[in-house]
Amino acid sequence: MGLRLDIVAPTDDAIARAADLIRTGALVALPTETVYGLGGDATNDRAVAGIFQAKGRPQFNPLIAHVPDAAAAAQHVVWTDVAEVLAQRFWPGPLTLVLSRRADCAVSLLCSAGLDTLAVRSPSHPVAQALLRAVGRPVAAPSANRSGMVSPTQAAHVVQSLGAGVALVLDGGRCPVGVESTVIDLTAAQPTLLRPGGATREAIEAVIGPLARAPAVGTPGALHAPGQLESHYAPALPVRLDALSVADDEALLAFGPDVPGGAALTLNLSPAGDMGEAAANLFAMLRTLDRPDLRGIAVAPIPDHGLGLAINDRLRRAAAPRP
């Protein structure tokens, strides 16, 4: 992000400063009870794209939207009776719930990896709680480390992994749990354990009964959640990649200043060729172009470096043969 890394004690002034940074689109590392999170405004497409960029992720997989409590979560997801029971027992705490997005959900589609579901969690760490209430909107916060590296449980780990990739690190000491949150999908017919973590399966089943087992990663129809890199959104229309020309019954997803003419509908991920802007626009534009009156979506070539790696990975998944 090009900003000097600043590590500060989580005083009231520091939390207010961190909240201001997040609201203006910057990234802040914050302690939770599980691991340190790389926090950005979950309602800001560019901020969410910045998280993927800072982590160097080669894929867009869903991120967890962190909220202070169940009432805040219910503003963005379809809250269910089972969600209420689990929240009363485990929130705030290391349990993430995957629920259907509300029609008026303000969270970025990039945070959901284009899916109609959203992962939400209320962390128990007092610094995280104070920051979330100060920000006043959901905060996307995957682990504050480069992709593929060990999750950070101390502020020093964030510095070692991300360097100047964040504007501020709130130093809340060592994370008490030290493993990531448990993820439960509540959109399936039976609540399903997608990722084991800080809330044990036994404790959850004692409250709501047996959990189903998630399909293995790579299985067709596998569930969609943080930690499952195979999950993906695909439009209903067929997708054609590296298109240098376009038919009059196709939509065009363009990139950069040179746009071929002739498409029935054209949207440009970034006329200036900015990868961050392209990532921020990807899922919303794919959805807009996915119209039943068109034959398909043609996608212009996108450079395969930086965030382009993740953009192209998602587009290749969208263009893959359907079962």
Answer whether residue 105 is part of any domain: yes
247 and 207 share a domain?
no
Q: End of a domain among 163, 179, 213?
A: 213
pLDDT of residue 222: 41
pLDDT of residue 223: 42
Half-sphere exposure (CA, 13 Å, Cβ side) for 221? 4
37 and 104 share a domain?
yes
Q: Which of 131, 118, 137 is nearest to 29 (CA)?
A: 131
CB 36 within 8 A of CB 156: no
50 and 182 share a domain?
yes
59 and 136 share a domain?
yes
pLDDT tens digits for 104-121? 999 999 999 899 999 999
289 and 203 share a domain?
no
207 and 311 share a domain?
no
Q: End of a domain among 177, 196, 213?
A: 213
Q: Which tokens in the block code for residue 164?
A: 């100047």
pLDDT of residue 172: 96
Q: How far is CA 287 from the centre of its chain?
A: 17
Answer whether residue 234 is part of any domain: no
62 and 181 share a domain?
yes
pLDDT of residue 24: 98
- For residue 221, name the pLDDT band (cuts at 50, 70, 90): very low
286 and 250 share a domain?
yes
CATH assignment of the domain containing 304: 3.40.50.11030
pLDDT of residue 178: 73
Collapsing DSSP to helix, strand or coil, 72 comes out as helix
Higher pLDDT, 80 or 57: 80
Written as one letter, the residue type at 131 is L
197 and 284 share a domain?
no
- For residue 1, name the pLDDT band (cuts at 50, 70, 90): very low
Answer whether residue 158 is part of any domain: yes
Q: Which helix (H) or strand (E) holds 168?
A: strand 168-170
Q: End of a domain among 178, 196, 213?
A: 213
* 179 pLDDT more than 80: no
pLDDT tens digits for 273-322? 999 999 888 988 998 999 999 999 999 999 998 888 888 888 888 888 86
pLDDT of residue 215: 66
295 is in which domain, residue-wise?
239-319
pLDDT of residue 232: 54
Tell me the pairing of strands 95-100 and 64-66.
unpaired
Q: What residues does 33 pair with on adjacent strands? A: none
CB 82 within 8 A of CB 173: no
Tally of structural domains, the chain: 2
Written as one letter, the residue type at 180 is E
156 and 201 share a domain?
yes
Alpha-carbon distance 137 to 65, whole Å?
9
80 and 126 share a domain?
yes
pLDDT tens digits for 120-156? 999 999 999 999 999 999 999 999 988 877 778 889 8
CATH assignment of the domain containing 129: 3.90.870.10
Answer whether residue 125 is part of any domain: yes
Portion of the chain with pLDDT greater than 90, in percent: 67
Answer whether residue 177 is part of any domain: yes
197 and 76 share a domain?
yes
Answer whether residue 131 is part of any domain: yes
pLDDT of residue 314: 80
Answer whether residue 201 is part of any domain: yes
Q: Which residues are CB-neighbours of 322 under 8 A, at least 6 positions away?
A: 234
- ω before 92 within 30° of 0 (cis)? yes
